């Protein structure tokens, strides 16, 4: 008989994901493990594999739709089964193919909850829809459901909430602003246009950043160390390397490599906390912060300590390109014990970063700029970069953090040790 495939839990504790694109079409044959669709999580794009062998009979979700974990997304049939058998299977399962919403649906004409007629029959709703309705004081019993079998899903509740907001905006737009007196022409000019506030809905990525960083800042005991690092020799070496390198090396590439080697020099800083034990990492797997539209991604460069500088640079460059295209995979965002975030290119001199759980350390890198320094008792000018280490005091003590910072500074100020 036909087999139903449901939306998998593509990341831990995820309640829903967006099906961004189908990689197989109806009528195509698939094997178990074939990539069948691309799914967007809060921070990454993940390919999901086919769970059955056969022919794609029905795609139950449109591209771009947000789907709850466990909801049906497609039907796979064997080569000998007919379309009529698939239709019967879907009817028995209470599932149907996507259909356009009727013109009088909540999505087409949002209304207040009180204006939706109450239905007498039992209404089924998803846990996420019930939670969203409870948080926004919406009665799910009066919401038309657009899910399989009339099930009330998240988007149904969101449409009712949006209807409230639209009604509120319509009422606000009709308000006449108070006219200022002619005695104050500056105030009169300022009040010609009423003040407006634009509500921008949170993206999945922004919600994830909010949740994770709030958790980090409130549950992890941060402490901070700051060091000024001279980078003149590093910049000179970079120039020499780029004269013959097949790939352009950036300052950030050198910093990430130096961070990995400093972890090799100071193994006690390459640890993370768990409730059962302190986890000692045997390789320098380092997350590199990449700014993207609407947020931040931190893919992990594996084994930085043992890779060549060119390999590290190539890995970071690949991550940057795919991050901006929304092609980072979920597994590339997990693991590691250390992060590097660099705002120097924006002219930021110094800042402190929040730890990226469950990692135990993050280095915030500021701009390299000319500063007055003392060399052998005399004033001189050097190019200096301020770096701030945020550390988890549960696993990294102050002395260990200071030793790591000392090792990092030594690598940067003697950059040949990064290449050897």
Mean pLDDT is lowest, of 16-30, 68-82, 120-134, 334-348, for: 120-134
- What pLDDT was estimated at residue 162? 79
CA angle 294, 297, 302 (to 5 degrees): 170
Q: Is 137 assigned a catalytic role?
A: no
The dihedral built from the CA positions of residue 240, 262, 386 and 318, taken in this order, carries a sign that is positive
Domain segments of the chain as ranges: 3-93, 217-419
- What pLDDT was estimated at residue 403? 98
Choice among 52, 53, 222, 393 that is catalytic? 393
Q: How far is CA 312 from CA 126, 241, 250, 283, 420, in A?
A: 45, 14, 11, 14, 14
Q: How confident is the model at residue 412 (pLDDT cuts 50, 70, 90)?
A: very high
Each residue's pLDDT tens digit, 164-213: 655 544 434 443 344 444 444 444 444 454 567 888 888 778 888 888 89
- Count helices and strands (H / E) in the chain: 10, 18
Q: Report d(CA 319, CA 342) in Å as an integer.
A: 15
Are 3-93 and 217-419 in the same CATH fold? no
Q: Indicate the average pLDDT of the chain.
A: 82
How much is the average pLDDT of 67-91? Answer: 82
User: Which CATH code, of 3.30.559.10, 3.30.420.40, 1.20.1050.10, 3.40.50.40, is assigned to 217-419?
Assistant: 3.30.559.10
Residue 41: both structure tokens together: 């999580």
User: Which CATH code, of 2.40.50.100, 3.30.1330.10, 3.40.710.10, 2.40.30.110, is assigned to 3-93?
Assistant: 2.40.50.100
Q: Describe the crossing of helices 232-244 and 398-413 by its angle, rounded to 10 degrees.
A: 50
Q: Report d(CA 21, CA 183) in Å as an integer.
A: 61
- What pLDDT was estimated at residue 154? 76
pTM: 0.66
Q: Could you tell me how many residues make up the chain? A: 420
Each residue's pLDDT tens digit, 337-389: 999 999 999 999 999 999 998 999 999 999 999 999 999 999 999 999 999 99
Q: How confident is the model at residue 123 (pLDDT cuts 50, 70, 90)?
A: low
- What pLDDT was estimated at residue 345? 92
Each residue's pLDDT tens digit, 8-23: 877 655 677 888 889 9
- What pLDDT was estimated at residue 16? 77
Question: In terms of Cα–Cα distance, which of 208, 146, 225 is closest to 407?
Answer: 225
132-150: burial string, b at 16+ Cβ within 10 Å, e else: bbeeeebebeebbbbbbee
The answer to whether residue 248 scores a pLDDT higher than 70 is yes
Q: Are 206 and 293 in contact (CB under 8 A)?
A: no
The answer to whether residue 105 scores a pLDDT higher than 50 is no
Residues 6+ apart with CB under 8 A from 334: 300
- What pLDDT was estimated at residue 107? 34
């Amino acid at each position: 008989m036909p087999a139903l495939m449901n939306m998998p839990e593509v990341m831990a504790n995820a309640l829903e994901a967006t099906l961004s694109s189908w990689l197989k079409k109806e009528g195509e044959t698939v094997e178990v493990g074939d990539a069948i669709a691309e799914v967007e999580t809060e921070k990454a794009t993940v390919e999901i594999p086919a769970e059955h062998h056969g022919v794609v009979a029905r795609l139950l979700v449109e591209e771009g739709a947000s789907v709850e974990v466990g909801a049906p997304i497609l039907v796979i049939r064997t080569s000998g089964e007919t379309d009529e058998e698939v239709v019967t299977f879907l009817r028995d399962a209470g599932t149907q193919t996507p259909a356009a919403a009727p013109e009088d649906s909540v999505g087409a004409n949002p209304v207040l909850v009180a204006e939706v007629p109450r239905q007498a029959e039992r209404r089924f709703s998803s846990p996420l829809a019930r939670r969203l309705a409870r948080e926004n004081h919406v009665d799910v019993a009066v919401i038309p459901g657009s899910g399989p079998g009339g099930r009330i899903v998240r988007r149904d509740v969101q449409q009712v909430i949006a209807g409230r907001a639209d009604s509120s905006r319509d009422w606000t737009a009709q308000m006449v602003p108070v006219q200022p007196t002619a005695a104050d022409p500056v105030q009169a000019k300022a009040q010609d246009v009423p003040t407006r506030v634009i509500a921008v809905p949170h993206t999945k990525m922004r919600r994830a950043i909010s949740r994770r960083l709030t958790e980090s800042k409130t549950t992890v005991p941060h402490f901070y160390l700051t060091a000024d690092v001279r980078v003149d020799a590093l910049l000179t070496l970079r120039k020499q390397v780029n004269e013959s390198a097949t790939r352009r090396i950036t300052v950030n590439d050198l910093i990430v490599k130096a961070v990995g080697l400093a972890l090799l020099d100071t193994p006690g800083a390459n640890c993370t906390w768990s409730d059962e034990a302190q986890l000692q990492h045997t390789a320098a797997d380092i997350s590199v912060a990449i700014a993207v539209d609407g947020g931040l991604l931190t893919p992990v460069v594996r084994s930085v300590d043992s890779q060549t500088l060119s390999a590290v640079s190539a890995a970071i460059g690949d991550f940057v390109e795919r991050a901006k295209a929304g092609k980072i995979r979920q597994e590339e965002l997990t693991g590691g014990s250390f992060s590097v975030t660099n705002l120097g290119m924006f002219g930021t001199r110094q800042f402190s970063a929040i730890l990226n759980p469950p990692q135990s350390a993050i280095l915030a890198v500021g701009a390299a700029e000319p500063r007055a320094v003392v060399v052998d008792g005399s004033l001189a000018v050097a190019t200096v970069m301020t770096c701030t280490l945020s550390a988890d005091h549960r696993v990294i003590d102050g002395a260990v953090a200071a030793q790591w910072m000392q090792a990092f500074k030594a690598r940067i100020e003697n950059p040949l040790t990064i290449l050897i």
